[in-house]
Structure 1
Amino acid sequence: MGRKATSDVLERFVRYCEVPSQSDPRTAQTVPSTPAQFDMARVVAADLRDLGAQDVTLDEHAYVTAHWPASVGAEKRPALAFCCHLDTAWQTYGSPVHPQVKRYEGGRLVLGSGRDGAEVALDPATNPELKDLIGEDLVTSDGTSLLGGDDKAAVAMAVSLLARLAENPAIPHPALALAFVPDEEIGHGAALLDLDALGAAYGYTIDAGPLGEFCYETFNAAEATIRANGRSVHTGTAKDVMVNASEALLRVHQLIPPQDRPEFTQDREGFFYLERIEGNCEDARADYIIRDHDRNRFEARKDLLRSAVAQVNEEYALRPSAAAAQPVLSIEIRDQYRNMAEVITRPENAHLIESARRAYAACGVTMRTVPMRGGTDGAQLSFRGLPCANLSACYHNAHGVTEFVPVRELETMVDVLQALMGIYAEG
């Protein structure tokens, strides 16, 4: 569909990856959680203005929004939204990022050395999809950080789509509303996006995995913080006096079914994930996330964690220590998002699924509908009144130093977005 020999989207993607923009759950009380996200927001806003996008706005929370007018004949069609996120994952190194384009010729592909000096490589044993990518170019990091394909590949796709429209305004498309949001990786995402100003009737997030993936269902999600208050004394005189806050948290973790951890689950199986634990004898804290596609099982998981905390408090209350007379543990659970399938599967929104299928097929891609084992801005947006299903961003091995994006997938996905616009321009 008119793809250039020199790929505009590849150039943008590499350039965006070089701008560090990790979010940070430890400073989630501010939006954005990190100043670096403003750096990425400014780069994107400048690119949008250079292309001639309308109403380009960068607000005080690092949200970037813009509009693009409809092609001739599609002015009366509802505006279509595309949403991507500006931040990258916080779970590993994210700065500096040194993207590289490497040809994959089969076998192991060495990316470089990690920060500990150990070799970092892609291996067909852990990424069997590599057998279908022999002879193709892959964008990777050099092994010292994540790449940031989640979600900068999507940002590059969306901006490159506008570049096509700037070159050829006759490409059929409805009015477009673009949103680039911060802090998606820490569960905030589109929460502060002004939907009235955005002005779209429906849309798509671009934040799924390999080419062809399509998601209209996500986990129900919550985060939990368990705090422990102990009493520290010299270990030589600790009997019946010491209360070890860190050990109280470990006791809670023992009560969580071990099979319900992410590394033992798949498909629609939910889990508890211990994100971090820190502290000492007197003060300790554990942060969990709770996930399940089924709403009833999700609520049961929250109850299980509350019950585990209550049980450990009861166990400590039976000890002779006076310090244990007060509850050692407290828990706070905060809902993050709901399964957007509740919204997307409504009859009035079924077009989001079928239109995506048609757009993929028009580009020779078979759509694979998968239950998303994570979240997306579409979950928030759908329940706020902007139904949004989720399209491929074409990243593999997200949130780690072996993340990669095949160039062919990156470029093809811009074609898919163009095809999708054409479908919504038809009426």
Structure 2
Amino acid sequence: MTDKNNIIDRFISYVKIDTQSDESSNSTPSTEKQWDLAKKLTEELREMGMQEVSIDENAYVMATLPSNVDFDVPVIGFVAHFDTTPDFSGTNVNPQIVEDYDGKDIVLNKEKNIILSPDYFEDLLEYKGQTLITTDGTTLLGADDKAGITEIMEAMQYFIAHPEVKHGKIRVCFTPDEEIGRGAHKFDVKKFGAEWAYTMDGSQVGELEYENFNAAGVVVTVTGKSVHPGYAKGKMINSMYIAQDFINSLPRLETPEHTEGREGFFHLNGIKGDVEETKLNYIIRDHDRQHFEARKEVMKKLGAEICKQYDRDCVTVEIKDQYFNMKEKVEPVMHIVDIAEEAMERVDITPLIKPIRGGTDGAQLSFMGLPCPNIFAGGHNFHGKYEYVPVESMQKAVEVIVKIAEITAEKFRK
């Protein structure tokens, strides 16, 4: 359906552009270099013949593929993000192409002895005989989410080249700063104008997700009293010891390394402190909204109890909600999930419907009035040097996009 070489060339042209986002920045996009890919995509959309191509002051790129049927079909959308994570270098990405993968170790970097091995990454064995694109061991790859962008662009190119394939109006959008949780913050849902959409931002073939964590960030500030240690008896209050009490009082088995599926957790992901003040950075995650709220209460009450124990206001707990489970917004319109599931089955993919142990732009967009399940983009081992993507998985994702549009038109034919 789609030419493998075209996909490879397009994907590599995108990943070679450094688009790493920066959570310490307050601008949108958070880094100037994200404009490089945003502008390239804008030009490519115009050149291929897409309509209503726009790029706004925050680098959100939108475009339209007009309907080619004479009856009303709901406007649907496809969304992907062009930034890459701050967690690992995205500078000088040098993709390696592994043809006809033989199921053995892949040497990413001989000099540094960096090996992508199926002994550790068992998923590799599912792609024997396929073409893999890997890193060179020194950077991430950027399949998260430049694979998604590639697939949307290839699908639009296919529609334009094949007008016999019937579809309604399709909107596409490419966003900045998803990796730092801001991908949907300045998304103009009204301008986008779709009834529903799909983010192409999942991992392995078949993933179809409409549940994600409810999420909050927590800053626990512990204040102590610094006194010269030689004269500290009865006077010094060491904030780090109090912080340790707080840490040890939370359920030890309700942490990321001990949970799976729909199980929630408390995650301590940063500590900075001295005698006078210690700050603990936590995230709270839970699929169940009631459990999520209960976790927030646990942390507030724990702070209050420690203050009571020390008979002073020594602990403050600041909690900020980050995003919510899109399930409550998608379930009332489950036909949008059913269409995606049917599309996968029609192209011989077994749908893998499971909760996301994380977040997605689709969660925020769903609460902004644009229900938005998440579909696989095909990559594995995101955010690091072992990242790879099978080209055949990207081809399948293109087929799913096309089939979703076809099925939507079929279902609303009068």
Structure 1 length normalisation: TM-score? 0.89
Give the alignment partner of residue 84 of structure 1, picking from 48, 66, 80.
Answer: 80
CA shift for structure 1 position 77? 1.1
Q: 1:160: which partner in 2?
A: 154
Query: Which residues of 2 match residues 364-379 of structure 1 at below 5 A?
Result: 364-379=348-363
The residue that corresponds to 1:322 in the other structure is none
Q: Which letter does structure 1 place at the counterpart of 2:314?
A: V
Q: How many Å apart are 1:93 and its aligned residue?
A: 2.7
Q: Which residue of 1 aligns with 2:14?
A: 16
Pair 56,235 (structure 1): closer, same or farther in 2 beyond 3 Å: farther
Residues 368-411 of structure 1 show CA distances to partners (whole Å, capped at 9, x for unaligned) of 10111111111111122111111111111122221111111011
1:175 is matched with: 169
Identify which of 319, 325, 333 aligns with 1:333: 319
Q: Give the CA deviation at 1:355.
A: 0.9
> Residue 122 of structure 1 aligns with which residue?
116
Distance 2:304 2:37 in 1: 44
Residue aligning to 1:345: 331
For 2:93 and 2:228, locate their aligned partners in 1 and report how far apart those are by CA, in whole Å.
46
1:38 maps to what in 2? 35
- Give the Cα–Cα distance (whole angstroms) in 2 for the partners of residues 399 and 240 of structure 1: 48
The letter for the 1-side match of 2:394 is L
Q: Does structure 1 retain, via aligned residues, the 8 Å contact 2:69–2:168?
A: no
Measure the CA separation in 2 of the matches of 1:228 and 1:36: 38
Displacement after TM superposition at 1:413 (Å): 0.9
Where does residue 413 of structure 1 map in the other structure?
397
8 A Cα contact 1:10 1:410, kept in partner: no
Structure 2 CA distance for aligned equivalents of residues 286 and 26 of structure 1: 18
In structure 2, C-alpha distance between the alignment counterparts of 1:328 and 1:20, rounded to whole Å: 44
Distance of aligned partners of 1:167 and 1:268 in 2 relative to their CA distance in 1, 3 Å threshold: same
Paired with 2:153 and 2:38, the residues of 1 have a C-alpha distance of 13
Q: Percent identity?
A: 39
What runs of 5+ residues in structure 1 fail to find an aligned partner? 319-324
1:241 deviates by: 4.1
SS state at 1:387 partner: coil
Shift of 1:227: 2.9
Task: Indicate the SS of the match to 1:207.
Answer: strand
Opposite residue 81 of structure 2, the aligned amino acid is H
Distance in structure 2 (CA, Å) of the matches to 1:312 and 1:211: 48
Partner of 1:69: 66
**SS state at 1:14 partner:** helix
Counterparts in 2 of 1:31 and 1:226: CA distance versus 1, 3 Å? farther
Give 2:181's aligned residue: 187
Q: Deviations over 1:289-312 (max 9, x none)?
A: 211111111111111222333333
Check the 8 A contact 2:74/2:168 in 1, yes or no.
Answer: yes
Partner deviation per Cα, 1:208-242 (whole Å, 9 max, x = no partner): 11010100111111111223444445544444444
Q: Which aligned pairs between 1:262-273 and structure 2 lie closer than 5 A? A: 262-273=256-267
Distance 2:296 2:69 in 1: 52
Residue type of the partner of 2:323?
A: Y
Question: Alignment length, in residue pairs?
Answer: 410
Deviation at 1:275, TM superposition (A): 2.7
The Cα of 1:154 is off from its aligned counterpart by 0.3
Instruction: Give the Cα separation in 2 of the matches to 1:388 and 1:331.
Output: 33
